Amino acid sequence: MRQAIKSTLFCLTLSSLLFAADYRFVKIDFPDAAITRATGINARGELVGFYDDVNGFTHGFLLRKGVFSSIDFPNASLTFARAINARGDIAGWFQFEDGNDHGFVLRDGQFTQIDFPNAITTTPRGTNNASDITGNYPNPNCGDCESGFILRDGVFYDVHIPGGFTSDIWMAQDNGQVMVGDAAMKPDFALHGFIRDKRGEFHLIDFPGLSVPCTAPRWINERGDVVGLFAHVSTIDDCYAGPPAHGFLLRQGKYVAIDVPGSTNTRPLAINDDGQIVGFYTDGAGVNHGFRAVPKDE
């Protein structure tokens, strides 16, 4: 347990306001960073994410009340901040020189390391207002597959979708039951999104009109809104090769595509209960920027 957020603070500069669909898009760039990716937002509008500095090192960040703070796990070679809940707890992962992912939670300025028992790597994806943490780990019981997990009240629970070769849990609602994620489904290992309902039943999510499945939910809020990304690809392998993506919002059974104007790649990663969405996009020059998408009626 160590002091976590560096004391150096930077003022936020909002680069440009971009308008599309029903959202006002705000570009987010950590000062002097080579790339910036926003990854989480809480009810107070506080953002987390990560950035690469000019030397290529990756750091987490917190954006609170217009001020940036860097987040670095002690002695780590890189740090990714992924999610923030209403209490201000931040979940993410880091690597030492061996290159293996280890999870962390940052609470009240102190880090706690998180590792799934006996797993080589642990990669947290989200944290809800009940302080549950979700993510994935390599499951030695199924060969090369990965399983999702939820860490609830100090206990790890494995979450694996029936018929899936891999399962990745990205976010759970505060009840700890309703979850979203993605899975490579047998027999062809195509990537589908899923929702697990309160009864523990899984339902696949596929953005309409795709000739090859390639849909990846990333967050669900307490209203049941889901955001994520999808891609038009020709083969299943193309889906796993990091193709240019489009964002989506799934609300009350209806899909809406989300693209930052002028971008070649838009990836929403979180939505709070006010409907504000954060993620990152790639501009025409190939540079990644974070974004906050605010509903126009707000």
The DSSP line for 46-62 is -EEEEEE-TTS-EEEEE
Per-residue pLDDT tens digits for 213-250? 999 999 999 999 999 999 999 999 999 999 999 999 99
- For the cut 90, the answer to whether the pLDDT of residue 168 exceeds it is yes
Residue 261 near residue 272, CB atoms below 8 Å: no
Amino acid 49: pLDDT: 98
User: What sign does the dihedral 82-99-143-116 (CA atoms) show?
Assistant: negative
Mean pLDDT of the chain: 92
Residue 68 near residue 10, CB atoms below 8 Å: yes
Amino acid 101: pLDDT: 96
- For the cut 90, the answer to whether the pLDDT of residue 78 exceeds it is yes
When pLDDT is cut at 50, 70 and 90, the band that residue 104 belongs to is: very high
β-partners of residue 149 are 135, 158
When pLDDT is cut at 50, 70 and 90, the band that residue 23 belongs to is: very high
12 φ, ψ (degrees, to nearest 5)? -80, 135
Per-residue pLDDT tens digits for 183-202? 999 999 999 999 999 999 99
Amino acid 41: pLDDT: 98
237 φ, ψ (degrees, to nearest 5)? -60, -35
Backbone φ/ψ region at 277: left (φ over 0), alpha (ψ -120 to 50), beta: beta
SS3 141: helix
CA distance linking residue 138 with residue 39, whole number of Å: 23
When pLDDT is cut at 50, 70 and 90, the band that residue 97 belongs to is: confident
When pLDDT is cut at 50, 70 and 90, the band that residue 84 belongs to is: very high
Amino acid 3: pLDDT: 36
Residue 60 near residue 80, CB atoms below 8 Å: yes
CA-closest candidate to residue 230, choices 238, 49, 222, 188: 238
Amino acid 140: pLDDT: 79
pTM of the predicted model, to two decimals?
0.91
Q: What percent of the chain has pLDDT over 90?
A: 88
SS3 103: strand
Residue type, 287: V
Residue 119 near residue 107, CB atoms below 8 Å: no
- For the cut 50, the answer to whether the pLDDT of residue 15 exceeds it is no
- For the cut 90, the answer to whether the pLDDT of residue 2 exceeds it is no
CA-closest candidate to residue 48, choices 282, 281, 269, 288: 269
Amino acid 9: pLDDT: 36
- For the cut 80, the answer to whether the pLDDT of residue 11 exceeds it is no
CA distance linking residue 17 with residue 49, whole number of Å: 20
- 105 vs 26, 30, 94, 108, 284, CA distance in Å? 27, 22, 11, 10, 35
When pLDDT is cut at 50, 70 and 90, the band that residue 145 belongs to is: confident
CA distance linking residue 180 with residue 4, whole number of Å: 29
Tokens of 228: 């994520």
CATH number of 5-295: 2.120.10.30
CA distance linking residue 212 with residue 221, whole number of Å: 27
Amino acid 298: pLDDT: 60
When pLDDT is cut at 50, 70 and 90, the band that residue 21 belongs to is: low
